[in-house]
Chains A and B, each alone.
Chain A
Amino acid sequence: MNAAKENLWKAFRGLVLVWIVGMAIGETLIAWGINNWPLVGSVQARITADATTYLMWQAVAIYVLVGGAIVYSAMRFRASSASDAVIPENQKRTWAPFVVTWLVLAIGINLANTIYPGMVGLEQLWAIQMDTKSPLVVDVTAQQWKWTFSYPKQGVTDVSQLVVPEGRTIDFVLRTKDVMHDFWVPAWGEKKDVIPNEVRHLFITPTALGSTATNPMLRVQCAMICGNGHPLMRAPVKVVTAAKFKTWVSNNSF
């Protein structure tokens, strides 16, 4: 009995070693992946990318803890052969320290995740929306299968290219003429469904200059299946400086 117990603790030391090695490898890979993250082109994208990368660190840690335990115990406690008839000594039906640790960690991680990055991220996104005094209003009209943009205050109507200034919060007013669509600029880190009979708003504060030509992450892309033209329902995006935006507006308004 005593020998068996010691044996299990010895096995546990091996598991800890697996955890340490696995954690080192896994988190290094994640660090490398996050280092090569695609363009984060708006304040909102920073928030959503932070949420994603935080969850990645955590997911890898949990994967190593749980997955490591599965692989390690399957290998460490395997039978010697197919005809092995030894009945293991350990016939425990439960072991409170393990169960309690598991419960505490599971509930704790869940609560923590709901607060950060969940609620914190949402509050940040909502705060930008609430604090914006005079956003640049852009009317977005989706239809099968193209996007049109209008700048009501600037007097620019029905252009097929989205040109926006850097550093200013934009209020995209989303409407659709036919079926459901979804307004998404991958670099801006958020998408919003465009729903028939409803008007939706998406607030974005672009931070990265560039255009679709320089980085394909900067493109308007329909992200909700909308028929056979769906994959090509894109529009070019250009993020320019405030001064250049002014010039563009004066060239394109009536």
Chain B
Amino acid sequence: MAENGYASLMDPAPERAKRGAFFFLTLFASIVFAMWDLARFLWGGTGVPSTLNMGVGIGLTVLMLISLVPVFGAQRKLNQGDDKGILSSMGALLVVAVIMICGIVYSWTSLPISSGYGGIYDITTGWFLLHFVAAILAFLATIMKGSRTPERAKRERWVSYNVLMYWGGMVVLWVVFFGIFYLA
């Protein structure tokens, strides 16, 4: 398939710029989560309701931390220039994201949105859910692009880097969320 000749000329950012500027996007997203985290104390008080399922919370957090293994593995493969090798890691992360969504929806059942803590918990996890959906789409895109058009994936390696960066950021945000909503 012929790629259009102008595309690379009119998208002149080098990999360094693409990966660096992605920081601004993650900064914005992180501050949104910081707002939810701060809001938890205004609306949720300092206690944790008894209906909060601690087991599920711990389980999801451990899962997120374990998911760093494929992230770092894929990052190393990318550094070595192995664009095909990251696809299995991406698949594993996709499964993690699906499990996270199920876990979030399950924990909603015990926390009504009309209560103080429930309201801020539900809206924060709802926002996480949206990000997990976005992550699933990103993983799917990476896998499909990598297997259907490996040449393009190789040329646009920054996309894979940024997808991994995105997930890494999600792990950090989830751990902070766990600390604030479950432990504090």
Whether A and B touch (Cβ < 8 Å) is answered with no
**A→B interface (CB under 8 Å):** none
